[in-house]
Structure formats: structure tokens, C-alpha cells
Structure 1
Amino acid sequence: MRPFLTRFAPGKFPYRRLFLALAIGFIGGCIFFYFHLPLPWMLGALVACLFASLFNMPVAVPGIVRPPMLMLVGVVLGSGFTPTMAGSMIDWLPGLIVLIIFVVVTACCCYVYFRRAGGLDHWTAFFSGMPGGLVEMTALGEVYGANTRIIALVHSSRIMLVVLSLPFLLSFVGGQALTGTTRAGASILETPISADLWLFGTGICGMFLGRLLSLPSPFLMGPMLVSAAIHLTGVSEFHAPWEIIAFAQLVLGSALGCSFAGVKKSDILHILQLSVGSTIFLVAASTSCAMLVAHISGRPILSLLLAYSPGGLTETSLMALSLHVDVAFVATHHVLRVFFVAVSATFLARWLKRGRLAKTDA
């Protein structure tokens, strides 16, 4: 505990840059809210901090700030699982199979794109082309000698571009007007203390479980699994206040916008150019899959667009929560995508490395 607390010492922790980032993010959120733009506290903070980063303002959201926010989001996502939906999960199977096919096809296409259009080396293109798992792909890329900064920037750009464009795609394809006035959940003044105790207790237990099981994104998926188990079994029906959800969106949006801080503008523009091309392809492919499954299964197109979205698990699930879409359905698809990408990329990379070594020896 002491080494953890020492990281918050005034000389080590960038309090000024963090508070400036959150202040700029809050202003961006207020502007988005005033103009009734979608997801104001996430997208407004993201855009504002992105511009602050591009103009070299001293902003930063340290990585140590993200886990508590991910814990809260994980618990909130898990609360979307209810006992009544347990029997209907078998109906999700066809859509999940289509999702796996989507991941395989898009990963192959993105690899070729980054190799030929982007001129990236084999391993950097391989891990950059995987449609998911920013942290996992960056960590694996380091093991195989890839350029981890490019991998991180590509995945951050993909998530950012999807988060920025998806609300407007949902409005155009799904036919639902998205405004910044949507409120998810009751106010913190209306929820009982017992709900707050359930919220934080579930989150802490979930974090330990996520680390124990070595789950991808343990601070998000651990609390989500524990919360889902509690809600599916009917032990509790607690829900997080909307203020906590909005604050988590503010911090995570600011963190995504600040992820480009300290990077040369030329590098950012180069990666953004590459990411725009790959993101357009991914969004078009995911939209096509969603429309196909909607035609076959009759499920609402809005939930399918979110479920197949190539954005981040956290960001897309928060959209589903804010839009009152089936959070459990969306989160389950994204969890499967993250698991499948992480596992398949690990085994495929090992197989490819052995094949390359065998050719070298020959």
C-alpha cells in the first residue's frame, strides 16, 4: 500500500496537469451539453483535451487515475444484466458467430492496409490491425519488437474516431435523435446509502477478481462480472447515480484526448490519416454486419450497431447506457471481441514467429 500511496506524492503526481485536463474537459462537456450534442461529458471532454494536446498545453491524465473509473464503469455495465434476460442469451449466439467472422476478416484486411498503405513493419502492422485490445496489443507488440508507440496511437485513434462518429451514425442509421440531455439513472441525492455501499464493494471485489484471473482489462471486466452475477441472481438491484457515470465519462474522455499529449504533430497527423482509412472500413463493415443480423434476427438495429462497433468496450458500453440500449447485449459482444482478439492474436503471433524462424533456419 505504501508504494502505491507514494505515487500520489506532490513531487511525483502531476496534479496541476490533471486538474487542468479535467477543467478543460469539463468546459468541453458544458459546451457539448449546451448545444445538445451527443454524450457531452465524454465527447466534449475528448475533443477539448485533444485540442489542448495538439496545442501543447500541459495536460495529462495519469494511468493510475483510470482504474477507479473503469471499476465504476464495470459495475454499472454489470447492473445491466437482469434475471429476466438469462434465458434469452441463447438467442444471441448467431450474432456472436457473425462477430467472430467480422473480427477475423477485418483483422486480415487491416493488416494488409497498414503494411501496404502505411508502410509499417510486419509486427507493428499485425498488432495495429487487430480490432480491439489497446492495452493487450501494445503489450504483445513490445514482446515481439514492434513499435509500441505506433500501435498505441493507432488503437487510440481508432477508438477516438469511432467514439466521435458513432453517435451520428446511430442517429442516421438507427433513426434515433441523440442529444446531450439524456440522463442515465437516479441522482446521487435520490439513491440510498446501501446502493453506494453495493457499488463500491462490488467494484473492489471485482478488481481483485480481475487481477486474480488475469482478465484483459481486469479493472473493468472483474467488477462487471461480479456486478452481473449479483444482478443476474437477484441478490441486489442497485444502480449507480448518474453523476458518478457522468464523472467517469469526463475522466475517461479527458484521458483519451490527452493520450496524444507530447507527440509530434507530424506523427499525430500521419497516424490519424492511416486511422481514418482503417476506421472507415471498420465502421462500414460493422454497420453491414449489424444490418444483416438485424434483418435475420429482428433485433433492434441500434443495439446491434453498438454491439458490432469497433470502438472501445468502455466507451461503447457507456453509449449504450446513456441511450438506454440493452447494455448487457452490447457489453457481452464487446467482451467476447476483446477476449477473442487477445487470445487469437497471442496464439497466431506465436505460430507466425515459429514459421518465420523456421524459414530463417532453412
Structure 2
Amino acid sequence: MRAFFTSMGLWWATPLVGVTGALIASYLNWPLPWIIGSMLAVILVRCLGWRVGEIPNGRLTGQWMIATSIGLHFTPAVLEQILGHFAMMLFAAFLTLLLALLGIEFMRRRGMDLTTAFFAFMPANFAEMIQSGIRHKANVSQIAAAHSVRLVLIVLCVPPAMFFTSKISPSVAHARLPSDWYWLLPLLLGGALTAIIWKRYKLPNPWMFGPMALCALFTASFNLQTALPVELSHYGQLMIGCALGGYFDRQFFKASPTFLIKVSVFTLSMIVCTLLLALGIGYLLGFPLMTLALGMMPGSSTEMYLTAEALNLGVGIVTAMQIMRLIVVMLCAEPVHKIWLKRLRR
């Protein structure tokens, strides 16, 4: 009990800071206020010297809520769309991977160690790239810093740009399906159990992919027409925003400003190049540009899903493209790295 109260002293203020930031962002009519506002508020107070801590299991429960919400979009009609565009989605995933490899080569030619640059700039899950970096004896602190900056920059840049381009006010609420607790309660509990099993078998990102897979299976099988209550969606966004903000403090920015500038330039270049690729593919295939851009964006599927949902875009397509990119990167990353190292040694 004493240990609980001791740890609580480190994080009790974090949700309060996050909620305050979210409410201010809502008042300012900022896109995705519950994730962006909370993230910026936590970063600000930590940089000012108040080192509010990470909420225990906060990010995991946030992912659990958002993953449930994502899975509820995979109706039979959406699955039919995904299957119809499978080849295009796979092509887009490989294009994103190729774009990242070109960027990594550029960073290598600027004097950065190949292994560190490779796992720092791969558009994949944060945790898996850090574990790969550890196995290959890379600079893990730089890998962690690069992925933290990448996620935060994409969250800060992409949703506002999308809202501005579409000329939709963030305060405009789209019609939501009713929340049917007859299905939601067992799906939430089953999602948590699936995540625990997923983690036991060391599968990637268990609290995101586990609940999402379960909800998608039941939604597609029974054509469910229900949605997560907006309050639980806000909770999920709040927890993820607070977790992202917790990666940063004054020392983080002082540690290696030159490296952080390189990461920022790389990430912004990736965003612009991804938009240009999406524009080209959309023009050739007659596919909606913003749906393609969000699907190809090298960020987190969570934030891209939330942006697509807020803009009333093809949420299922965006999520499926994000998942496909992660699968392609995870399958190709280490083999490509091995081949690349062999060629350099020759």
C-alpha cells in the first residue's frame, strides 16, 4: 500500500494536467483536443520543471479503448472495400517503406551509423524498433528519441493540416452510432483478455492489435452497428496524449539538439513526400486523396484513425493501410538491414 501511494505521488497530477490541456484545446477549437491538448500540456509542465510521471498502465488502457473503437468500424461492407483495394494498399505500404529507406541512406551519408539510423527512422512501432536496436547494438537512446519526435510531430502537423485542407471545423460533430452495451461490455472485457493472451505469446502491440482484432471479427461476423461512447474515446485519447507527453522534458531537448533537428527535418520531409505520393496514386486510381494520405502517413494508426473518424473519411481503409504498412515494415526491416550491412562490408 505504501508503494502505491509513493508511486501515486509521481503521477497523480498527470491526468489533471492532461484534462486541463484538452479543455483549453477544445476551447481553442483545435483538432483532436483530447490527445493533442493533453500531450502539449504534459510536455509544457515537464519542460518547466514539474516532472509529472507516467500514469500506470495509462497508455495501455488508452490503446484498449481506441482499439475497440477501431474494430467496431470493420463491418462487412468495409471489409469488402478493403479486399477490393488490397493490391493498392500493399503497393502503398511498399512505397512508404522505400521512401523511409531513401531517407535512411541520406542520413547514413551524413555520417550517422547505419544501424541506429535504420531502426530510428523505420516507420514502425516504437517498442519493436527499440528491441531491434538493442539486438543489433545500436544507439537505443537515439532510436527512442527519434520515434518520440516522429510521433509527436505527426500528431501536431497532420490532423490540423487535414482539417484546414478539408475546411471542416474541428468542433463539427459527425453523427455517431448508438452505444449498444449488450455487445460493448463483452467486447471490452474480451478485448482485454485478448490483449493479455497476445502479450503472453509476444505478439506486437498487444493492447492495440488484440482488442482491435477481436472487435473486427465480431463486427464483421454479426454486422454490428454500434460505437464506443464519446466519453470512453476521450479517455483513450487523454491517456495516449499524456503518455506521449511523458517522453519529453527539458533534459531531452538539451541532450542532442543537432540530432533532434535532423529527426524533425526527416519527419517533416517524410510527411511532405507521403502527401505527394498519395496525390499521385489518388490521381492515377481516382482514390480519395485524404484517405490515401492518412493511410500512408508514417505515424501511429491511433492518431490517423482518430483524424479519419473526425473527418468522416474511410476509417476502415485508413486503419487497414496503417496495419499493412506495419506488417510490411516488421517483416522486411531486419532482412533488409542484414543485406544492407553485408553490402557495406564488401
Matches within 5 A, 1:254-269: 254-261=242-249, 263-267=251-255, 269=257
Per-residue Cα deviation, 1:130-176 (whole angstroms, up to 9, x for no partner): 12221111110011111111101101101110111112321344x23
In structure 2, the partner of 1:160 is 152
Q: Which moved more, 1:290-299 or 1:224-233?
A: 290-299
By how many angstroms is 1:206 displaced?
2.6
By how many angstroms is 1:262 displaced?
6.7
For the residue of structure 2 that corresponds to 1:36, the secondary structure is coil
In structure 1, the partner of 2:81 is 88
In structure 2, the partner of 1:283 is 271
8 A Cα contact 1:32 1:180, kept in partner: no
8 A Cα contact 1:133 1:341, kept in partner: no
* Number of aligned residue pairs: 346
8 A Cα contact 2:64 2:236, kept in partner: no
In structure 1, the partner of 2:327 is 339
CA distance in 2, matches of 1:271, 1:56: 23
By how many angstroms is 1:325 displaced?
2.0
For the residue of structure 1 that corresponds to 2:13, the secondary structure is helix
The answer for unaligned runs of 5 or more in structure 1 is 1-5
CA distance in 1, matches of 2:105, 2:341: 18
In structure 2, the partner of 1:10 is 5
Matches within 5 A, 1:184-199: 185=176, 191-199=179-187
In structure 2, the partner of 1:128 is 120
8 A Cα contact 1:138 1:148, kept in partner: yes
Matches within 5 A, 1:97-108: 97-108=90-101
For the residue of structure 2 that corresponds to 1:324, the secondary structure is coil
By how many angstroms is 1:212 displaced?
5.1
| TM-aligned CA distance change 1:265 to 1:89, over 3 Å | closer
| Match among 230, 238, 247 for residue 242 of structure 1 | 230
In structure 1, the partner of 2:299 is 311
Q: Which moved more, 1:247-256 or 1:341-350?
A: 341-350
| Match among 43, 50, 71 for residue 78 of structure 1 | 71
Per-residue Cα deviation, 1:288-313 (whole angstroms, up to 9, x for no partner): 12112221232222211211111112
The answer for unaligned runs of 5 or more in structure 2 is none
Per-residue Cα deviation, 1:17-65 (whole angstroms, up to 9, x for no partner): 3232221111111111011111111111111112222222121225632
CA distance in 1, matches of 2:114, 2:314: 39
Tell me, yes or no, if structure 1 residue 251 matches structure 2 residue 239.
yes
Q: Which amino acid aligns with 2:18?
A: G
In structure 2, the partner of 1:3 is none
By how many angstroms is 1:198 displaced?
2.8
By how many angstroms is 1:353 displaced?
5.2
| TM-aligned CA distance change 1:264 to 1:221, over 3 Å | closer
CA distance in 2, matches of 1:91, 1:220: 25
CA distance in 2, matches of 1:352, 1:63: 39
Q: Normalized against structure 2, the TM-score is what?
A: 0.90
| TM-aligned CA distance change 1:322 to 1:7, over 3 Å | farther
CA distance in 2, matches of 1:7, 1:80: 43
8 A Cα contact 2:278 2:293, kept in partner: yes
For the residue of structure 1 that corresponds to 2:248, the secondary structure is coil
Q: Which amino acid aligns with 1:205?
A: L
By how many angstroms is 1:287 displaced?
0.5
| TM-aligned CA distance change 1:202 to 1:292, over 3 Å | farther
| Match among 135, 140, 143 for residue 135 of structure 2 | 143
8 A Cα contact 1:25 1:254, kept in partner: yes
In structure 1, the partner of 2:289 is 301
Per-residue Cα deviation, 1:258-312 (whole angstroms, up to 9, x for no partner): 1113734322633431122111211111101211222123222221121111111
| Match among 26, 44, 55 for residue 37 of structure 2 | 44
In structure 1, the partner of 2:212 is 224
CA distance in 2, matches of 1:86, 1:135: 29
% identical aligned pairs: 24
Tell me, yes or no, if structure 1 residue 179 matches structure 2 residue 170.
yes
Q: Which moved more, 1:315-324 or 1:175-184?
A: 175-184
By how many angstroms is 1:8 displaced?
7.1
For the residue of structure 2 that corresponds to 1:74, the secondary structure is helix
In structure 2, the partner of 1:33 is 26
8 A Cα contact 1:72 1:199, kept in partner: no
8 A Cα contact 1:153 1:271, kept in partner: no
By how many angstroms is 1:354 displaced?
5.8
